């Protein structure tokens, strides 16, 4: 088994079906924090901006009561739209960065704005970006990253994402080539790369120095093929179960984790690996058994920490759906 000691396992509200700050079709932050601790996780992202308590003292108390540590946050921005979008991003990312710094986290995930509606999947803007929009995106990301680092000591990591203008491997490589490597690094989401036909191992091999944060996500290849054939949106694909438990999908995780561990050793850094399995919308009793099984799977790969099952009920049957 490879040495994964430089990799730290965490999870995210996304794995509990949370896509929005508040929504009737997702769990609240109390249930999320209670259940990830029961499932064995000790590290978490904050989720959509505004989902968690925004008062640093309250957030620290809630985390401490459950033995949890924050590793990062996520914010969407449409930087391809130009100067006004960049100004709005500085304000939103700045608020998130202050909260992250207050709880000892240093990574802020930049999610590019989707061109499809997250609820309905309908197209809300053009699927392609023109040269001016591309320059706005890459230069805006550079400026936003410098702002976060200089003003808040927080590192921006860019997250390529399905149904955005940085989705395919070709676009990811172009984005990394065009942005400033000294301030803009990569949140490599294995699921989004696989969903869009990319090669996670190739990205790690070619751009290992830029891979400083990872989302562990798996794609069901049969559902993905159906989605492609029907030209469905990401929102529709998620409802069909395109994101699945790690042993059931792509990429194959053991070789990916081994390659990532090599990057961590080569560049002498620790890397957070945060589980995400898109589930929105989902019944409130569904995520916990999935999250517990997933924690157990990664523990079996040698990735942790994973605590013993906590709570009065027995651990979910690992063979059940």
Residue at 310 is within a domain:
no
Rounded Cα distance between 257 and 260, Å, is 5
* 313 pLDDT higher than 70: no
Rounded Cα distance between 54 and 307, Å, is 27
Residue at 312 is within a domain:
no
Q: Give the pLDDT confidence score for residue 312 in this predicted structure.
A: 43
Q: Give the pLDDT confidence score for residue 1 in this predicted structure.
A: 84
CA 242 to chain centre: 16
Rounded Cα distance between 29 and 17, Å, is 11
List the domain range (segments joined by +) for residue 26.
7-301
Residue at 1 is within a domain:
no
Residue at 40 is within a domain:
yes
Residue at 316 is within a domain:
no
Q: How many domains, the chain? A: 1
Residue at 62 is within a domain:
yes
Q: What average pLDDT does this structure show over 242-270?
A: 98
Residue at 311 is within a domain:
no
Look up the CATH number of the domain holding residue 129: 3.20.20.150
- How large is the greatest C-alpha to C-alpha distance in the chain, in angstroms? 57
Q: Please, which pLDDT band fits residue 255 given cuts at 50, 70 and 90?
A: very high
Q: Cβ neighbours of residue 140 under 8 Å, at least 6 residues apart?
A: 77, 79, 80, 82, 85, 86, 89
Rounded Cα distance between 212 and 263, Å, is 9
Q: Give the pLDDT confidence score for residue 308 in this predicted structure.
A: 76
Q: Give the pLDDT confidence score for residue 314 in this predicted structure.
A: 40
* 2 pLDDT higher than 70: yes
Beta bridge partner(s), residue 272: 8, 213
* 290 pLDDT higher than 70: yes
Q: Please, which pLDDT band fits residue 320 given cuts at 50, 70 and 90?
A: very low
Question: Alpha helices, DSSP H only, in 153-273?
Answer: 169-178, 190-195, 200-207, 221-230, 234-239, 253-266
Q: Give the pLDDT confidence score for residue 311 in this predicted structure.
A: 53
Residue at 320 is within a domain:
no
Q: Output the 3-class SS for 264-297.
A: HHHCCCCEEEEECCCCCCCCCCCHHHHHHHHHHH
């Amino acid at each position: 088994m490879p040495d994964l000691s430089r990799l730290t396992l965490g999870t995210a509200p996304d794995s509990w079906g949370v896509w929005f700050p508040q929504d009737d079709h997702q769990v609240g932050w109390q249930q999320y924090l209670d259940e990830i601790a029961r499932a064995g996780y000790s590290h978490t992202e904050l989720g959509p901006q505004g989902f968690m308590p925004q008062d640093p003292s309250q957030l620290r108390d809630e985390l401490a009561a459950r033995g949890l540590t924050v590793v990062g946050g996520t914010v969407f921005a449409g930087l391809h739209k130009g100067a006004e979008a960049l100004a709005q991003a500085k304000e939103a990312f700045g608020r998130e960065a202050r909260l992250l710094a207050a709880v000892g986290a240093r990574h802020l995930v930049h999610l590019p704005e989707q061109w499809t509606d997250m609820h309905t999947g309908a197209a809300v803007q053009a699927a392609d970006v023109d040269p001016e929009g591309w320059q706005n995106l890459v230069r805006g990301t550079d400026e936003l990253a410098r702002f976060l680092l200089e003003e808040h000591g927080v590192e921006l990591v860019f997250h390529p994402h399905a149904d955005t203008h940085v989705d395919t491997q070709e676009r990811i490589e172009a984005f990394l080539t065009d942005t400033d490597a000294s301030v803009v690094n990569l949140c490599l989401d294995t699921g989004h790369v696989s969903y869009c036909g990319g090669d996670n191992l190739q990205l790690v091999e070619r751009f290992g120095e830029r891979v400083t944060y990872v989302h562990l996500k798996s794609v069901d290849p049969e559902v993905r093929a159906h989605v492609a054939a029907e030209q469905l949106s990401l929102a529709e694909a998620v409802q069909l179960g395109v994101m699945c438990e790690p042993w059931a999908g792509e990429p194959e995780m053991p070789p990916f984790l081994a390659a990532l561990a090599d990057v961590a050793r080569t560049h002498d850094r620790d890397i957070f690996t945060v589980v995400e399995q898109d589930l929105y919308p989902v019944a409130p009793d569904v995520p916990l058994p999935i999250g517990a099984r997933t924690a157990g799977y990664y523990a079996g790969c040698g990735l942790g920490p994973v605590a013993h099952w906590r709570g009065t009920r027995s651990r979910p049957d690992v063979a059940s759906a």
